[in-house]
Amino acid sequence: MKKVFALLLAVSMVSFMACGGGKDKEKEKAKADSIKLADSLKQVKEKDSLKQVAIDDSIAKAAADTVKKKDDKKKDEKKK
């Protein structure tokens, strides 16, 4: 019986070492999680940059409208 247990123990140790003990799976999972996090951050930055572009465009449009109104007002004053 002792020989059976010793053989079973030896086989289980060899199979555990052959599989790597699960360390590779943890490394792969950590790598996949970091890639997923980087992608998420990239998407957030892209959304923020698109929002900023929209804000900048609206500010530029408002400034152009203000300048146009001032120019129209000056033209109207000159006509009088």
Q: Domain ranges for the chain, please list them.
A: 2-79
Whole-angstrom distance, CA of residue 2 vs CA of residue 34? 47
pTM of the model: 0.41
Per-residue pLDDT tens over the stretch 1-11: 888 888 899 98
Per-residue pLDDT tens over the stretch 15-61: 877 776 666 677 888 888 888 888 888 888 888 888 888 888 888 88
Whole-angstrom distance, CA of residue 30 vs CA of residue 75? 67
